[in-house]
Amino acid sequence: MTTTIPSLTLVRRIKAPPARVFAAWTRAEMLAQWFGPHHTRVAHAEVDARLGGHFRIELVEDNGARHEVGGRYLELEPEQRIVFTWAWASTPERESRVTVRFRPLEADTEVTLTHDRFADSDTATRHRRGWTESFERLIALNEMEEAR
């Protein structure tokens, strides 16, 4: 019997060049402006975007609940691809993997996010919501930048 390990893939078009979108993923001050689902904010972000480097993000929900996620960078190709591990501080043994690809489209960037190696399908479903809402925030942020 073959067991399927749950994963998710999202594709979004961002109205910004690949360099700016890549920076939004690899610079702590930019990541803090958009990362996380609705009704959360980034309380603290650390990013050491280099092969073997680590990231750590602390999210705070509107109700005050705190969550911390982190991982290490496995691959970094500027403006093309990022691969990193992903584990919540509350369940460090449940490490998964995120791959983000950036493809130029005229003045925009197509971003393909694949998050795989989930422990179960419920975890994948919760992360789909979180990534979907994070993308909504990233798109809105870039639209505000474009309007300036």
CATH of the domain at 36: 3.30.530.20
Assigned domain for 1 exists: no
Q: Is the pTM of this model over 0.85?
A: yes
pLDDT under 50: residue ranges of the chain = none
Q: How many domains does the chain have?
A: 1
Assigned domain for 3 exists: no
Cα 58 from Cα 42, distance rounded (Å): 6
- Going through 15-132 in order, the beta strands assigned E by DSSP cover 40-47, 54-61, 66-77, 81-88, 96-105, 108-116
Assigned domain for 46 exists: yes
Assigned domain for 42 exists: yes
Assigned domain for 106 exists: yes
Q: What is the pLDDT of residue 5?
A: 86
Assigned domain for 2 exists: no
Q: What is the pLDDT of residues 92-126, one digit of tens each?
A: 999 999 999 999 999 899 999 999 999 999 999 99
For residue 19, give the DSSP letter: H
- The residue assigned the tokens 């930019």 is 30
Answer for the pair 98, 83: CB distance below 8 angstroms, yes or no.
Answer: yes
Assigned domain for 122 exists: yes
Assigned domain for 66 exists: yes
Q: Which domain holds residue 33?
A: 8-147
Q: Beta strand 108-116 with 96-105: parallel, antiparallel or unpaired?
A: antiparallel
Cα 52 from Cα 54, distance rounded (Å): 7
